[in-house]
């Protein structure tokens, strides 16, 4: 049997310690990351304990009678350590549904942690959701990932672009000049999609201050001017490109090709995968074909980010 209780601020240290020893949590699951936007979400994270202590944790927020895991995160999912077993997690999901029904919560939307982020195999939740909760996939996004130990050769246009950029005097370096990059990123997103970055400049600076080793900015410079850049999230097994953008000058100079030539061949990562992030919008059906083609040109291939949904009454 599991005791299920709702997370409170008094649990912050315990929560963060469990994430640190878990087999599938990343720094995005730490409260020092999650809570930067706590004013936007009604937190309903849960802690599951048995006779031996914490067994699992679920980062979550509530909207009406629905629990989301988690709307403010790229992936939420059940965080577990090496004690988790298939039968244990099956029992946990049964207890979770009973618990949520008693609270009048009728639906769960669950953003699973993609397997590339797992330090040890951790798909007990995927089995339990389908077999206990009759869950269904309601959103499938596609990302583009490179196995760093065995990368696919770049497409010819990207190889040419990187060579041209460096010949034109573009240099790539690690930077803290988020303001210059955010001006490029914000302008591009607004012009192309009428959208803004998920993070404001103030938020990304705050998160970088909290996680300087996990959140890194690399910029492409031409005569000292920032003409492109990418924000990387270092998530243990995965280096994830959170944002990528270039100015009009940077596009002419092939700044993005230069960026990733440097990042993928000059930098040394204690990770197994480089993940470019999703190229699909909405529920995943709207694929940005030019964007994913660009990422595939760097040797990346498809990884899915799945969202599950079920009714607790089933």
pLDDT at res. 123: 98
Contact 290, 113 (CB under 8 A): no
Instruction: Specify the domain boundaries for CATH 3.40.630.30 within the chain.
Output: 3-141+306-311, 150-271
pLDDT at res. 314: 61
Contact 186, 196 (CB under 8 A): yes
pLDDT at res. 191: 84
What span, in angstroms and rounded, lies between the C-alpha atoms of 223 and 225?
6
Contact 247, 228 (CB under 8 A): yes
Q: What is the pLDDT of residues 45-84, one digit of tens each?
A: 999 999 999 999 999 999 999 999 999 999 999 999 999 9
Q: What is the pLDDT of residues 99-140, one digit of tens each?
A: 999 999 999 999 999 999 999 999 999 999 999 999 999 999
pLDDT band at residue 180 using 50, 70 and 90 as cut-offs: very high
Over residues 298-311, mean pLDDT: 97
Phi and psi at residue 300, to the nearest 5°: -85, 155
Whether 208 has a pLDDT exceeding 70, the answer reads yes
Strand 79-80 relative to strand 53-58, pairing: antiparallel
Q: What CATH number labels 150-271? A: 3.40.630.30
pLDDT band at residue 28 using 50, 70 and 90 as cut-offs: very high
Over residues 163-170, mean pLDDT: 97
Whether 164 has a pLDDT exceeding 80, the answer reads yes
**Cα–Cα distances in angstroms (integers) from residue 35 to residues 67, 123, 231, 290, in the given order:** 17, 26, 20, 34
Over residues 283-292, mean pLDDT: 92
| Mean pLDDT rounded to a whole number for the chain | 96
Q: What CATH number labels 3-141+306-311? A: 3.40.630.30
pLDDT band at residue 283 using 50, 70 and 90 as cut-offs: confident
């Amino acid at each position: 049997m599991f005791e299920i209780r709702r997370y409170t601020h008094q649990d912050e240290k315990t929560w963060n310690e469990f994430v640190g020893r878990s087999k599938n949590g990343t720094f995005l699951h730490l409260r020092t990351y999650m809570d930067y936007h706590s004013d936007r979400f009604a937190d309903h994270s849960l802690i599951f304990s048995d006779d031996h202590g914490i067994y699992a944790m679920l980062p979550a927020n509530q909207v009406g009678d629905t629990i989301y895991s988690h709307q403010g995160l790229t992936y939420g999912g059940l965080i577990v350590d090496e004690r988790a077993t298939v039968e244990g997690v099956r029992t946990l999901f049964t207890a979770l549904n009973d618990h949520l029904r008693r609270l009048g919560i009728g639906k769960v939307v669950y953003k699973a942690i993609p397997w590339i982020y797992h330090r040890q195999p951790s798909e007990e939740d995927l089995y339990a959701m389908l077999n206990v909760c009759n869950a269904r996939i309601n959103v499938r996004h596609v990302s583009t990932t490179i196995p760093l130990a065995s990368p696919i050769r770049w497409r010819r246009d990207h190889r040419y672009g990187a060579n041209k950029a460096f010949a034109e005097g573009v240099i790539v370096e690690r930077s803290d000049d988020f303001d210059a990059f955010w001006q490029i990123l914000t302008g591009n997103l607004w012009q192309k999609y009428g959208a803004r970055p998920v993070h404001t400049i103030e938020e990304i600076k705050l998160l970088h201050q909290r996680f300087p080793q996990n959140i890194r900015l690399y910029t492409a410079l031409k005569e000292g001017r920032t003409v492109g850049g990418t924000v990387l999230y270092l998530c243990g097994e995965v280096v994830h490109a959170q944002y990528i953008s270039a100015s009009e000058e940077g596009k002419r100079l092939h700044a993005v090709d230069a960026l990733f030539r440097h990042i993928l061949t000059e930098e040394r990562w204690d990770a197994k995968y480089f993940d470019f992030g999703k190229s699909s919008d909405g529920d995943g059906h709207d694929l940005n074909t030019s964007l994913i083609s660009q990422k595939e040109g760097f040797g990346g291939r498809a990884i899915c980010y799945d969202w599950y949904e079920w009714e607790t009454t089933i």
